[in-house]
Amino acid sequence: MSVSLSWLLLVPLGILFKMWYDKNAGARRSLPPGPKGWPLLGNVNDIPEVAPWLDYADLGKIYGGIIGLKVLSQSLVVVNDLSIAHELLDKCSNITSDRPANKLLDFLGWEFSLVILRYGQRWRDQRRLFRQAFRPEAVYGYQPIITQKARQLLLNLLDNPEGFIDHARNYPASIVMRLVYGHEIAPRNDRLVYLADKAGEMVELLLLPGLDLIKVFPFLRFLPEWNFLTGFPRKARISRDMVKEMRDVPWDMVRDQMTAGTAPSSMSSDLLERSSKLGGDMSKEEATIKDTVSIAFAAGTDTTAATLKTFLLAMVLFPEVQKKAQEQIDNVVGQRLPTFDDRDSLPYVDAIYQETQRWHPAVLLGFPHVSTEDCSYKEWFLPKGTVILPNIWAMSRNAEQYPEPEEFRPERYLTPSGDRTEESSEFTFGFGRRICPGRHAADASLWLAISSILAMFSIEKAKDENGKEIPIPGDYGGHGLVSHVVPYKCVFRPRFEGAEQLIRSSK
């Protein structure tokens, strides 16, 4: 009788123990290895404020390709290894594609942005429109516009080579403005480009180290504009006003043109026309369209401009690479301008484009992902809500995958016989369902600019009054969202007799 009673007591106790065990299994399983944190505070002191991609890469040398951190109660995983990023963010994208709540960017007026939207219906609606407008088949139809703008870039470099930094900025801006709003930008001081630049600069300024106070103490954003503690409310209001103007001015321009029957075909006008034919809740659909085209306008130029400037720097610093590419262009294209039809026949030029993105990625630290369910990688456990941070810089500096990573070597993307491999630098565009939806347009724009510049110009170091080459440090400035090379001097020389006439006649 006592034995039976014991069993009757043990059964419910066993069930309770199993429930407790299952509930706390996640707590027992650990995050990936990382530095030991403080009680309660965790790894607060291990979160770098300046150039975090470098500090996280250094931690990776100690702890490996994936690092686990804890900040208060928040789990954070930094991924330094590309293969691990593919496992977590590509193969498990159905549960690792959320974004963390970012009240700071919301307060600055960017709550509409596809880049930071939480995983949900609003994000899905924007992504659907973006993919419609920038899928590979659609980008193929944009080739005449991209070609026209690439020819204008060559003319700008010919007439004002000293302004090459500005030309590299205006080239993607001219493409995006034309595709998104049907707007042809002015040669200089274009108002719409100015609005996008200023709105972006405000974000860079307000995300500098020190304003993390707002994240820790959100109530500070409600202080009056004159407060002496942060000055943040006044700056945030300026940011919101600038973002609003950046969104409203081109949108109203397109609506007015459509009313007058003069609107050129563009992403905005095409989506609006399609929406009106489908019927339904027009106000909701128009709001989604406006949000989508606004972020295409704001985010579609900076990274492309940064990559183009990096290409120019690499050609000056590695003249042997430039010469080899030009030999291939001369053999395949001759003394004409390259077209998209030449791409498959110019594998070395394509490899230069890939290596440019790897050598110095425009975005060094990828936007954070958040897991929507418990997940695991090997023996490590990532609880629901874990922030996953892809360190693009560390991936690009993996010496096992890219020997001597500081060297610019297009051969990394070529077979011994000189053909293109399957290897690419697409990881610089992000991962999983959060990969940049405009990457196909960026790819086309960059490839044509790179091949066209190499075909027409020799890019050389500038010389001082004594005929000595002016050193180029090759430094990159800023610790914001996009990394840009510090301005330097170089010379653009037409490569052959008749190049100038060819450029002028092609426009």
Burial 408-439 (b: 16+ CB within 10 A, else e): bbbebbbeeeeebeeebbebbbbbbbbbbbbb
CA neighbor of 200 nearest in space, from 340, 65, 303? 303
Work out the angle at residue 436's Cα, subtended by the Cα atoms of residues 433 and 437, and round it to the nearest 5 degrees. Answer: 85
| CB-CB contact of 436 with 363 (8 Å) | no
- Strand 476-477 and strand 380-382: the pairing is unpaired
| CB-CB contact of 347 with 330 (8 Å) | no
DSSP E strand boundaries for 337-428: 369-370, 375-377, 380-382, 387-390
Q: Please give the Cα distance from 426 to 366 (Å, whole number).
A: 13
Residue 67, Cβ neighbours under 10 Å: how many?
25
Work out the angle at residue 386's Cα, subtended by the Cα atoms of residues 431 and 86, and round it to the nearest 5 degrees. Answer: 25
Between the alpha carbon of residue 106 and those of residues 184, 218, 355, 458, the distances in Å are 30, 12, 35, 45
Residue 280, Cβ neighbours under 10 Å: how many?
9
State yes or no: 92 annotated in a binding site: no
> Cα torsion at 22, 27, 33, 35 (round to 10°)?
180
Between the alpha carbon of residue 381 and those of residues 18, 67, 181, 376, 395, the distances in Å are 20, 12, 46, 4, 22
484: DSSP letter: E
The neighbouring-strand residues paired with 124 are none
- Strand 387-390 and strand 369-370: the pairing is antiparallel
Burial 226-241 (b: 16+ CB within 10 A, else e): eeeebebbebbebbbe
Q: Please give the Cα distance from 360 to 227 (Å, whole number).
A: 40
Known binding-site residues for heme equal: 436
Binding-site entries: 436
